[in-house]
Amino acid sequence: MVRVALIAHDEEKAEIIDLARSYEDLLSTFELVGTGTTGKRIMEETGLTVERKQSGPIGGDLMIGAEVAEDKLDGIVFLRDPLTAQAHEPDITALLRICDVHDIPLATTRSSAEFLLDGLARRTDAD
């Protein structure tokens, strides 16, 4: 089964929830994992189940990075706020590096997230 991580900076939480709603039918066929607050909000505002890791500021992003290193993730959607991200929010640098090392796609914008999800859906359909 396809396994995807969902992460969002504070200013992007509404956007990732909107994305989850738009792709709810597809995402319901995936295993979802997320950082604490993002995962909680997605579950509260959609019918999706998300395996929640710690919140980003206390290591949730690193826990997701470990799943990439262990070949347990097929992709990451990390909607980040490039202009006003706060010091307490997860840093994308380590995740980007581990995704590049393991050839795992990481989307940082709504548009790239849609391409990632659509691509994973096509791969699922081919199986």
What are phi and psi for residue 24, nearest 5 degrees? -60, -40
Selecting among 10, 18, 25, 61, the annotated active-site residue is 61
Superfamily of domain 3-112: Methylglyoxal synthase-like domain (3.40.50.1380)
22 annotated binding-site participant: no
53 annotated binding-site participant: no
Distance CA 103, CA 20 (A): 24
37 annotated binding-site participant: yes
Cα Rg of the chain (Å, integer): 13
Q: 61 catalytic, yes or no? A: yes
Distance CA 33, CA 52 (A): 6
Q: What is the pTM of this model?
A: 0.92
Residue 24: how many other CB atoms lie within 10 Å: 13
Q: pLDDT tens track of the chain, all 127 residues? A: 999 999 998 899 999 999 999 999 999 999 999 999 999 999 999 999 999 999 988 899 999 999 999 999 999 999 988 777 566 656 688 899 999 999 999 999 999 999 999 999 998 776 6
102 annotated binding-site participant: no
| In contact, 107 and 67? CB cutoff 8 Å | no
